[in-house]
Amino acid sequence: MTPPEETGQSSIDCTPGEPPAVSVCLPAASKVETLKKRPDFLRAASARRQGTGSFMLQARPRADDNPTIRIGFTASKKIGNAVARNRAKRRMREIARAVLPIHALAGWDYVLVAKPGATIARDFRDMLADMETALRIVHRDVVKRERP
């Protein structure tokens, strides 16, 4: 197994010298990190939620001045065995890589929660559309406040 890089394998942004996983790279100021600690997941769970056909999005603005976007993924045993849970999380990670650089807001935490049957079986294009719609709905109040 290859040891992790110094910048960390948990970041979704593009690293120099490597081709991006998606054609869109994040600007240097908007770094994406992965949530790892339970309290971060719990804080996101108590904030805004938006259900979709393939997963549930939980989102919250952080009170700090850090512009980093943080994302977490969860799949309970309701999804199935370990193989099914890992597949669901892989699909959600790819959706995050494709959509967050375009639609996420800096300084927010996001958690994607897998739905039984739907996260694994749903068409990938539909999942991308679900993510864009969910982010638009979650950010609706924030965008209205920013406009004069």
Q: Within 13 Å, how many C-alpha atoms sit on residue 110's CB side?
A: 30
> Which token pair is 32?
């994406």
Answer yes or no: are the C-beta atoms of 49 and 58 closer than 8 Å. Answer: yes
Within-domain flag for 13: no
15 domain residue, yes or no? no
> What pLDDT is recorded for position 143?
59
Domain that holds residue 119: 32-146
- CATH number of the CATH domain containing 39: 3.30.230.10
Assigned token pair, 50: 């938006």
Average pLDDT, 10 consecutive residues per value, the chain (148 residues): 49 44 45 91 91 93 89 95 96 94 91 94 94 93 62
The whole model's pTM is what? 0.75
Model pLDDT, residue 144? 60
| CA–CA gap between residue 35 and residue 19 (Å, rounded) | 24
Could you give the angle at the alpha carbon of 124 between the alpha carbons of 135 and 76, nearest 5°?
75
- Residue at 82 is within a domain: yes
For 9-61, the DSSP string reads TT--S--TTS--SSS----TTS-EEE--SHHHHHHHHTSEEEE-SSEEEEEEE
Number of domains in the chain: 1
